Amino acid sequence: MDIRAYNRTAWNKAVEENNQWTCPVSEDVISKARKGDWEIVLTPIKPIPRNWFPEIIHNLDVLCLASGGGQQGPVIAAAGAKVTVFDNSPKQLAQDRFVAAREKLEIITVEGDMRDLSAFEDCSFDLIVHPVSNIFIPDIFPVWDEAFRVLRPGGALLSGIVNPVIYIFDRYKMDDEGLLEVRYRLPYSDLTSPSLLDRKRNLNEGWPLEFSHSLDEQIGGQIEAGFTIYGFYEDRDPRCILNEYMPIYIATRAVKPG
């Protein structure tokens, strides 16, 4: 299966269904951002701490990586940064262009695979914003390597991460019945872990394919790529029953030495 092509179609469908991560920000959010009152998220609820950003964001070159949907990119652009949004889904990118046209913002949109940033030269960006998204690819080490390459020395990568523990549970019993039943071994893959019946159900429903990644791959992978971790926090998802027991999401601030 061409995973990238499948997930492109799935995310295009998610836009049509108004998924949480596909809904453009409002005019009021952009108006406040222009006045310096802004925040964005990497994970469902908790905003990124402002001290994770450079003190002056005006004219910074910012890459919103796998971050289409008309959310992070337009806000940062309204705050004064020079923003490029990179995403696998044309309809997600169209949401950013929609906000840019509505608010008269300059945003560059590029379609592509987050593991291949060859569209950009070395040391092209001061900041990368990478919300939860690498669960939609089976191998994430190229993401960290490419992010390191395109960042300038001293630049930061802000990443949203899913705690892999969520993937040991039966998804349908968790979502449909509110039950936590341990079913899968890690690493988890939508292509191989569920039963044939559940795999067919996943494909019929058109959800993006997901893959678990260990904390060693997520956090250790950033360090292995050359980054130094300077920030960390956890977040919850109120829509998930597991939220009652533990945070599901993690965010990191990783800096390229320089």
What mean pLDDT, rounded, does the chain reach?
97
Considering the chain, what percentage of its residues have pLDDT values greater than 70? 100
Which residues have C-beta within 8 Å of that of residue 195, sequence separation ≥ 6? none
Q: Which CATH code, of 3.30.565.10, 3.30.465.10, 3.40.50.150, 3.40.50.1110, is assigned to 3-164+213-255?
A: 3.40.50.150
pTM of the predicted model, to two decimals? 0.97
- Predicted confidence at residue 1, as pLDDT, reads 87
Q: Say which amino acid occupies 35.
A: K
Residue 7 pLDDT exceeds 90: yes
Q: Which of 88, 63, 26, 71 is nearest to 159 (CA)?
A: 63
The rounded distance, in Å, linking the Cα atoms of 108 and 72 is 13
Chain segment 142-161, per-residue pLDDT in tens: 999 999 999 999 999 999 99
Give 163-176 pLDDT, tens digit per residue: 999 999 999 899 88
Mean pLDDT over residues 82-110, rounded?
98
Boundaries of every domain in the chain: 3-164+213-255
